[in-house]
Structure 1
């Protein structure tokens, strides 16, 4: 629903399959089970997952669905256009920064579920919309995180900025970026309390119970946050 043509190359869906909690046989079982919503079509020589039915009731972002908090020295603000932020340790915004940031928090912007082609990318509201798109994409993952490569793979489908990493760094109060090893990872900060995932989806809870029943010691997927440095 957020992609500009309501379709995504199937290979890219497979690329983030595990992050989205999709079953290994989603192509053969899940997609054909819901023909009123999805289909597979060849477009320009590539197989695409195509949205067949638009459901306006689903065009509600996770950001809009949460409780807002008031403006404080940490940059959070009560309002329909605000994002929850958590600045990195050691970052002490001064009054002028908070004043400008409050203006940004109050600024209205188009929904991530509206077609990006309708907006001028140079418009500040459109740039804020990009942040909302990234926020929503991360909110839809099981662990509120994806690798930088996985996020960048959807550059053309969501008209993301060419220098995506700079956009993420600029909004370090919303996103957390690790550079551990050769694969960077982007976390949605509000999804975590320290290094612990706040809300776990049923599939993730099931996996944890399965690991416990097997008698294996679970290694937290959030260790990256504890052992890596924040790109600032």
Structure 2
């Protein structure tokens, strides 16, 4: 009996230690470049500004746009160069032309293949399945926030990666009134300042199941609370954790898994258990994104608002086998490792399939006819 009592006491002490003590070893984890994931990030270079310009062109009644108007909106569209130079760079997407009257200014329109891709993309975006899926992803994002609400400026930063329509406030809110409503929120630094936010009207238990919990349930292990669920880890070639770091990670993985949809702020912020919960939240966030990646500033901005502070930063540093930070495209991008095999998504969302179509067009050159004089004859040679 005494032995049993002692065992029970030791177990309580161990649980207390796991949830309150910071045991991460004092070892520097070096950053190792992953060329495949860097490629996954780099292949989307200029995709966002191209899609923004496409949307602006198609918003015009004539489906054409004066080149001068594109120049005026260059900053808002985040064009990396002058509008004329950007249009010229992607001839398989944009066509530059002049109207028939002699004094007309240069105009731009979509190339035929880009217009076909847009129509196919519209079928995806307008399908009931996609719109319901987008609404549920947005609802889950709001459920990661304890108050079920987020400022619109934070959601706007994640809009593209979440796969939301560019006018999601007008479309999704009106289409799913049982899900969302616009609300007024206090600014971060002042109670007298207010800003617009989006609120989930009521908690949805059917959506409050993380991807990690669904995996466990799918293999018949149930989904009981506090299970010891380990995160998938993949380290790039040439990356080797120190033995003491590997030992810490192994023990850390054995800690109980706390759902990202639970509130665990009662845990000491510097404890190992608290870190596993922060990793769970970040892991779920990246899984909600159709591209399984986002710029690091979006992660930090959301983390600061949710109250995680430096915990997201520590999670990215301590767990390079779960998250990768790419330095490509003059920014930093957080990538969920398990979502990729080399530079390709393991599970490709239909919207990502359409984005890859656009990327293919952006990389495609146009054949032009060039007259070449040979002796007394002129012949036309096709060049790429």
The aligned counterpart of 1:49 is: 198
2:251 maps to which of 103, 115, 124: 103
The aligned counterpart of 2:261 is: 113
| Structure having greater relative contact order (Cα 8 Å, sep ≥ 6) | 2
Helix, strand or coil at the partner of 2:233? coil
Distance 2:333 2:243 in 1: 31
Q: Is the Cα–Cα contact under 8 Å of residues 41 and 50 in structure 1 kept in the other structure? A: yes
State whether structure 2 residue 178 is matched by structure 1 residue 36. Answer: yes
Q: Is the Cα–Cα contact under 8 Å of residues 228 and 255 in structure 2 kept in the other structure? A: no
**Residues 142-181 of structure 1 mapped to structure 2, 5 A cutoff:** 142-162=290-310, 164-181=312-329
The aligned counterpart of 2:235 is: 87
Greater shift, 159-168 or 40-49, is seen at: 159-168
The aligned counterpart of 1:12 is: 154
Q: Is the Cα–Cα contact under 8 Å of residues 152 and 196 in structure 2 kept in the other structure? A: yes
The aligned counterpart of 1:139 is: 287
For the structure 1 residues 24 and 94, does the alpha-carbon distance in structure 2 shift closer, same or farther, using more than 3 Å as the test?
closer
For the structure 1 residues 88 and 36, does the alpha-carbon distance in structure 2 shift closer, same or farther, using more than 3 Å as the test?
same
Q: CA deviation at 1:211?
A: 6.2
Helix, strand or coil at the partner of 1:110? coil
Q: CA deviation at 1:196?
A: 1.3
Distance 1:163 1:131 in 2: 9
Provide Cα deviations, 1:113-159, integer angstroms capped at 9, x if missing partner.
Answer: 01243433233211110001110101110110000111111023332
Q: CA deviation at 1:94?
A: 5.7
Q: CA deviation at 1:80?
A: 4.3
TM-score scaled by length of structure 1 = 0.79
Distance 2:203 2:216 in 1: 26
Q: CA deviation at 1:47?
A: 0.7
For the structure 1 residues 167 and 120, does the alpha-carbon distance in structure 2 shift closer, same or farther, using more than 3 Å as the test?
same
Q: Give ranges in structure 1 of 5+ residues lacking alignment.
A: 69-78, 219-232
Distance 2:264 2:353 in 1: 35
Helix, strand or coil at the partner of 2:215? coil
Q: CA deviation at 1:32?
A: 1.8
The aligned counterpart of 1:60 is: 209
Which is higher, the Rg of structure 1 or of structure 2? Answer: 2
Q: CA deviation at 1:178?
A: 1.2
Helix, strand or coil at the partner of 2:280? helix
For the structure 1 residues 163 and 121, does the alpha-carbon distance in structure 2 shift closer, same or farther, using more than 3 Å as the test?
closer
Distance 2:243 2:317 in 1: 21
2:341 maps to which of 193, 196, 206: 193
Q: Is the Cα–Cα contact under 8 Å of residues 40 and 50 in structure 1 kept in the other structure? A: yes
Q: Is the Cα–Cα contact under 8 Å of residues 275 and 315 in structure 2 kept in the other structure? A: no
For the structure 1 residues 56 and 67, does the alpha-carbon distance in structure 2 shift closer, same or farther, using more than 3 Å as the test?
closer
Q: Give ranges in structure 2 of 5+ residues lacking alignment.
A: 1-142, 187-193, 218-226, 365-384
Distance 2:249 2:311 in 1: 21
For the structure 1 residues 84 and 51, does the alpha-carbon distance in structure 2 shift closer, same or farther, using more than 3 Å as the test?
same
